[in-house]
A = this chain, B = another copy of it.
Amino acid sequence: MSTFSFSLLHKDPKSQARRGRIETRRGVIETPVFMPVGTQATVKGMRPEDLLTAGAQIILGNTYHLYLRPGHTLIEKLGGLHRFMNWEKPILTDSGGFQVFSLGALRKISEEGVRFQSHLDGSKHMLTPELSIAIQQSLDADIVMAFDECIPYPSERRYVENSTALSGRWARRCRDAFDTSRGAALFGIVQGGMHPDLRAASAEELQEIGFDGYAVGGLSVGEEAELMYGMMECTMPLLPEDRPRYVMGVGTPENLIEGVRRGVDMFDCVMPTRNARNGVLFTSFGKISIKQARYREDEGPIDPTCSCNVCRSYSRAYLRHLYQSHEILASMLNTQHNLHYYLSLMANARAAIAQGRFTAFAQEFYRLRQTGGDGDTI
């Protein structure tokens, strides 16, 4: 009874890039798409209307954080995550696995699931595939992610084999626990570390189980960019063409372009929002750090080619002043600009694919970065 569907609209003639459309019960998502991260029921520094202005079509929520605070049962009681945070468009929730595994000494894995201690108050919890699905469905996510282990890099092959097999068994339990009657979608997550054969086996197993979409997990975990691109390249062709493909936790603008080139439809990353709060801004000619003294008297906008409200209204000198003065408005404006950059990059990629000129678009993307703008990219 899923109201979820994916249509492949255009294929780029010279690459694997795809232009698609996901339909959900909460509206349409044009792909390739970047999804801003809203960890604690808010994309930091952005109101929902600001996200719409920036062009967000879907945002992420974090199961681990919302489970601990304010609690998924509270959010369910208050009408679900959308109503709670005043966001009407689709929400994808992660499974909580990534955060739980990041807890290090505070967690212990077993066949059943993962025991962990809260980073907030040290309280003890057990996260299982069934509970992860239940939490995500309490939140009323439109896209629910299977619970898996994000394998550290580097890892022994034997560890990767065992972990991928466990994630496979958990994926089946997620599929069984998932309530299809509510119209949400369930995505499986391909693991397998940096081993193409294990990636292939994982992709095959997940398709046997059957999911509404397929994610690739365990990338952007410290490996070289070329290795990550290699993993995308070998995994994408193994996934069904008629389902959306999502590479989790990726990445830089370059990573997005290279992912799109290899057939990825969906991305998420804290990079534009976190960097914004640290004064690092994305531009068509690379990143700049707004705190640098060279911007002290700079009357120009962050990026002269950018059409966002921040670039139309504020100078680098003002943004530097706000950052140096630890003003809330620094985080607000920087985040607004960075998300506009990421979301526009994807909008432009979509237009390029539709017109069969993605390769030329990517070339121009790199050419502008080589010019280095004012020579101050970092």
A interface vs B, CB < 8 Å?
A: 40-42, 44-48, 69-70, 74, 77-78, 84-86, 296-297, 299, 313-315, 317-318, 320-322, 324-325, 327-329, 331-333
> Is A329 a contact partner of B42 (Cβ separation < 8 A)?
yes
Q: List 17 A-B contacts (CB under 8 A).
A: A40-B321, A40-B325, A41-B322, A42-B327, A42-B328, A47-B332, A69-B321, A69-B325, A70-B317, A70-B320, A74-B296, A74-B297, A77-B297, A78-B297, A78-B318, A84-B318, A328-B331
Distance, CA A179 to CA B331, complexed state (A): 37
- By the criterion CB–CB under 8 Å, are B321 and A70 in contact? yes
Within 8 Å by CB of A328, from B41, B44, B48, B78, lies: B44
Q: Which residues of B contact A84 (CB under 8 A)?
A: 315, 317-318, 321
Contact status B315-A78, CB under 8 Å: yes
Would A86 and B321 be within 8 Å (CB), given that A45-B329, A299-B78 are in contact?
Answer: no
Given A69-B321, A77-B297, are A314 and B40 also a contact pair (CB < 8 Å)? no
> CB within 8 A of A314: which of B86, B296, B297?
B86
Nearest chain B CB to A82's CB is how many angstroms away?
12
Residue of B nearest to A314 (CB): B86
Give the distance in Å from the alpha carbon of A321 to the alpha carbon of B120 in the complex.
14
Contact of A327 among B40, B74, B299 (CB under 8 A): B40
Contacts of A328 in B (CB 8 A): 42, 44-45, 328, 331-332
Report how far A298 CA is from B329 CA in the complex, Å: 29
* Residues of chain B lying within 8 A (CB to CB) of residue A296: 70, 74
